[in-house]
Amino acid sequence: MDKITDKVAALPADAEYFSLEFFPPKTQMGFSNLRVRLQRMERALRPLFVNVTWGAGGSTAQKSIELAELCQRELGLTTCLHLTCTNMSQAMIDQALEDARALGIRNILALRGDPPRAEYRDADEPTGSEEFTWAIDLVKYIRKKYGSYFCIGVAAYPEGHGDGSHPEGQSFEHDLPYLVDKVQAGADFIMTQLFFDIKAYEKFETTLRNHPSGAFKTIPILPGLMPIQSYAMIKRTAKLSHAEMPEEIMTRLNAVKGDDEKVKMVGVDILSELIEQIREIKSRTPGPKGFHFYTLNLEKSISFILERTKLIPDVPEDEEAIVDEPVPVAATGQRSIPRISVNGNVPPRQSRSHSRTARRQSSVGSDPHNRVIVGRAATHPEWEATSTEAGVPAESINTRANTLAISEGEGALGREATWDDFPNGRFGDARSPAYGEIDGYGVSIHMSVTQAVSLWGHPKTASDINDIFVRHIRGEISAIPWSEEDLLPESFIIKSSLEAMNKKGWWTVASQPAVNGLPSNHATFGWGPASGFVFQKSFVEFFIPSADWKILYDKLTSEENEELVCFYASNANGDFVSSDTTGGTGRATVNASTNAVTWGVFPGKEIVTPTIIEEVSFRAWSEEAFDIWAEWAKVYGRGSDSEKLLNEIGQDRWLVNIIHHDYVDTDALWRLLTN
Ligand SMILES: Cc1cc2nc3c(=O)[nH]c(=O)nc-3n(C[C@H](O)[C@H](O)[C@H](O)COP(=O)(O)OP(=O)(O)OC[C@H]3O[C@@H](n4cnc5c(N)ncnc54)[C@H](O)[C@@H]3O)c2cc1C
Ligand SMILES: NC(=O)c1ccc[n+]([C@@H]2O[C@H](COP(=O)([O-])OP(=O)(O)OC[C@H]3O[C@@H](n4cnc5c(N)ncnc54)[C@H](O)[C@@H]3O)[C@@H](O)[C@H]2O)c1
């Protein structure tokens, strides 16, 4: 029984169940580490099913299928594959559905993805192919082609969908008729966008359940919930998802915002309370009650929340003795999809008890406040073993392990689970399964054509692009395709240097100024626990024309500078060069460098290094950074001047990241680059 609706129907009427969403990790090490994490989570948390995300436009197609294969076939988890339908060819959709079927996957979350860039879809399509403009087109297509083989889910938005699809603005009322259509076209269940505003959710579920069409009377509706992993992350994600953060929640988060560990703990409280409130709303409709969690590939917060709210189902006595026989899969990177029959030869799993009255009692309690051991060195068995497996020399891992402080604690997952303190952002820990993603939906400029054009116009020359970057530095436009937000206040002190770089066509996408020992409660630079001191090395990441890069490279590798800077650079063809690989200037080639560029010293703790720049994370990010040129180009019509310009520019640039080691001379990097 692998269709979600069959599994839900088999549950007792008072049962609760939940699903966990994962995205394909960005690095090989992340994938290996996710495998171990998934095994742990599946055994300890027992989700009814798991979701695997799909990069908009098919950007993660192969990796998503690989992860779905791991979940469904190796771990035997009921898996729901997300699939988008815009900005990709019908052949890709067909391939994904065939792959899913071959793997024994019976559930698809049918999504639109990014707003369609219409002219791109038609280009490589044979005439007579399907039109995919909205998610409903995919729902209909799957039903037409596969009948009832797949159980189909669709997305819904308690606070309205917010990408500018509706000229009237964003609201649930605008979306409602289209949601009715999606369900009437054959959707079997609904999963919602993340939200924190319980009133909005109450209105959403009540309106659906009482809708005169009767379309939503009994359909499973799974509210989407995102554990709060860090203050900056949740604010960014809520903004991207157009989810309102109620004042009461913000007040609680603001009170602890400088201290990541406290933010996570308050986050567990907030989510647990939200679940209680949802329970009250759901109690008005008979039948099992489901919850969906956006895990962002992280494990600790979610396990505390599930334990606290007693959502983890009990293990029925007759299942205690069952040993799951994993189905072998190919190693990561060597994709092999066994062509098995439609019904698959995957051993059926025993049904599990999801009754509210038969919940597992935690052996360790459920209060994270008592169980977080702060600041232990991250000699984490999971990281070490699997990172070595992923090809990283043990020696370099140990160096990292000694400097990285990951808070460990127990809980449903046991001592092996980790918080992954700083996985996100481009300069987080590339070994973490969660590294480098904010939603798991792949490369995207996260906006409609109309919004993109209103921000960036129709650039026709490189100097138009200089203007866009300069205006972002000045705060005159709120985003560039590589950075969806205004600059942080910390960038203000290097604004004139950044402006000077962008004016000469060195387009900056990220940076930080040097800091030499400011108090951890400093208004602009402070972070971490009280009474500490924080430090930063200056760095800047930017696109530079090939011709300029040749000159700058010589400068960086000159005798005068080579000991003072580290750099990483790559282009759209994947050529890579770094200060580790230069040789030639007297310095022997050394092991891959690891640059802690932000660190903090706190009473009673080892040094904490939240931001690290190294080759593996730079390479993973730079591939995406170049894809973003192509994403931006798609905003404009095929063959248009802007499209041509952006595609050409993407080809002629290098992306360079330069770190200056002299953090005491806070102006050193900027003198080097602007003189
Ligand atoms: C649970 C969940 C999981 C997700 N997973 C992924 C993922 O893995 N990968 C990814 O890239 N994205 C994912 N997304 C994001 C999703 O792709 C985007 O939100 C996308 O912009 C809309 O997708 P949809 O399926 O809701 O689209 P649709 O149902 O097509 O709706 C999009 C908007 O268009 C409107 N609309 C629909 N039909 C019409 C019509 N005929 N005429 C006019 N307006 C219409 C709707 O009201 C809505 O405002 C997910 C979202 C959710 C909630
Ligand atoms: N695709 C990915 O893998 C990925 C991963 C992480 C972040 N991002 C995106 O990249 C952006 C940066 O994320 P982050 O977490 O690494 O860093 P961040 O947003 O914390 O920014 C890092 C620093 O760069 C500065 N900065 C921002 N824009 C700049 C610009 N145009 N020029 C110079 N400096 C600038 C900021 O003020 C800040 O000091 C975000 O928009 C994020 O969504 C993408």
- ∠ at Cα 613 (609, 614), nearest 5°? 120
CB-ligand 1 contact for 161 (6 Å cutoff): yes
81 token code pair: 């594959």
Calculate how far, in angstroms, residue 435's C-alpha sits from the geometric centre of ligand 1: 25
Give the Cα separation of 664 and 645 in Å (integer). 41
Calculate how far, in angstroms, residue 628's C-alpha sits from the geometric centre of ligand 1: 21
Query: What stretches of 2-156 adopt beta strand conformation (E)?
Result: 16-22, 49-52, 79-84, 107-111, 151-156
Q: Which of 483, 502, 617 to mutate to test the pocket of ligand 2 (most atoms within 8 A of CB)?
A: 483
* CA separation, residue 209 to residues 5, 153, 218 (Å): 18, 17, 8
Any bridge partners for residue 650, and if so which?
none
Query: Are the CB atoms for 153 and 107 separated by under 8 Å?
Result: yes
Query: Are the CB atoms for 7 and 49 separated by under 8 Å?
Result: yes
Query: Are the CB atoms for 266 and 228 separated by under 8 Å?
Result: yes
Q: In what order do the strands lie in the sheet with 565-571?
A: 507-512, 539-545, 653-660, 565-571, 576-578
Any bridge partners for residue 190, and if so which?
154, 221
Query: Are the CB atoms for 474 and 451 separated by under 8 Å?
Result: no
Give the Cα separation of 59 and 281 in Å (integer). 37
User: How much is the CA Rg of the chain, to the nearest whole Å?
Assistant: 25
CB-ligand 2 contact for 512 (6 Å cutoff): yes
Give the Cα separation of 612 and 526 in Å (integer). 17
Give the Cα separation of 379 and 213 in Å (integer). 57
CB-ligand 1 contact for 487 (6 Å cutoff): no
Calculate how far, in angstroms, residue 485's C-alpha sits from the geometric centre of ligand 2: 8
Of 370, 436, 488, 446, whose CA–CA distance to 617 is shortest? 436
**Could you tell me whether strands 189-194 and 151-156 are parallel, antiparallel, or unpaired per DSSP bridges?**
parallel
Of 136, 285, 134, 288, whose CA–CA distance to 211 is shortest? 285
CATH architecture entry for 4-311+366-409? Alpha-Beta Barrel (3.20)
CB-ligand 2 contact for 484 (6 Å cutoff): yes
pLDDT of residue 426: 58
Query: Are the CB atoms for 272 and 279 separated by under 8 Å?
Result: no
- ∠ at Cα 351 (346, 354), nearest 5°? 140
CB-ligand 1 contact for 54 (6 Å cutoff): yes
Ligand closest to the CA atom of residue 21: 1
Q: Which of 112, 152, 201 to mutate to test the pocket of ligand 1 (most atoms within 8 A of CB)?
A: 112
* Catalytic-labelled residue, pool 16, 21, 69, 437: 21
Query: Are the CB atoms for 451 and 163 separated by under 8 Å?
Result: yes
Calculate how far, in angstroms, residue 601's C-alpha sits from the geometric centre of ligand 1: 45
Residue 104 region, left (φ>0) first, then alpha (ψ -120 to 50), else beta?
left
Which residue's alpha carbon is nearest to atom 46 within ligand 1?
A: 175
Give the Cα separation of 44 and 523 in Å (integer). 41
- ∠ at Cα 638 (637, 642), nearest 5°? 60
> What b-and-e string marks burial along 577-586, b requiring 16 or more CB atoms within 10 Å of the CB?
bbbbebeeee
9: Cα separation from own chain's centroid: 31
Of 32, 189, 204, 208, whose CA–CA distance to 108 is shortest? 189
Give the Cα separation of 136 and 139 in Å (integer). 5
Q: CB-based contacts of 23: which residues, under 8 Å, 6+ apart?
A: 52, 53, 60, 67, 296, 297, 437, 439, 440, 441
Q: CB-based contacts of 640: which residues, under 8 Å, 6+ apart?
A: 458
Question: Mean pLDDT of all residues in the chain?
Answer: 83
Polymer length in residues for the chain:
675
Give the Cα separation of 381 and 242 in Å (integer). 38
Of 351, 369, 262, 354, whose CA–CA distance to 310 is shortest? 354
pLDDT of residue 671: 97
pLDDT of residue 261: 83
Calculate how far, in angstroms, residue 190's C-alpha sits from the geometric centre of ligand 1: 12
pLDDT of residue 637: 82
Low-confidence residues in the chain, pLDDT < 70: 118-128, 163-169, 317-411, 415-428, 438, 582-591
Ranges of each domain in the chain: 4-311+366-409, 449-674
Calculate how far, in angstroms, residue 226's C-alpha sits from the geometric centre of ligand 1: 18
Ligand closest to the CA atom of residue 470: 2
Query: Are the CB atoms for 175 and 136 separated by under 8 Å?
Result: no
pLDDT of residue 415: 67
Site of tokens 């979701």: 51
- Which tens digit of pLDDT belongs to each residue from 275-323? 999 999 999 999 999 999 999 998 989 999 999 999 999 877 666 544 4
Looking at residue 310, the DSSP 8-state letter turns out to be T
> What b-and-e string marks burial along 126-138, b requiring 16 or more CB atoms within 10 Å of the CB?
eeeeeebebbbbb
Site of tokens 């310009």: 645
Calculate how far, in angstroms, residue 387's C-alpha sits from the geometric centre of ligand 2: 26
Query: What stretches of 227-386 adopt beta strand conformation (E)?
Result: 289-294, 372-373
Ranges of H-type helices in 543-612: 546-556
Ligand closest to the CA atom of residue 598: 2
CB-ligand 1 contact for 56 (6 Å cutoff): yes
Q: Known catalytic residue: 74?
A: no
pLDDT of residue 463: 97
Give the Cα separation of 168 and 166 in Å (integer). 5
Task: Say whether 656 sits in a helix, a strand or coil.
Answer: strand
Looking at residue 666, the DSSP 8-state letter turns out to be T
Give the Cα separation of 222 and 519 in Å (integer). 44
Looking at residue 72, the DSSP 8-state letter turns out to be I
- Which atom from ligand 2 is nearest to the alpha carbon of 625? 1
Ligand closest to the CA atom of residue 88: 1
CB-ligand 2 contact for 617 (6 Å cutoff): no
Which residue's alpha carbon is nearest to atom 10 within ligand 2?
A: 483
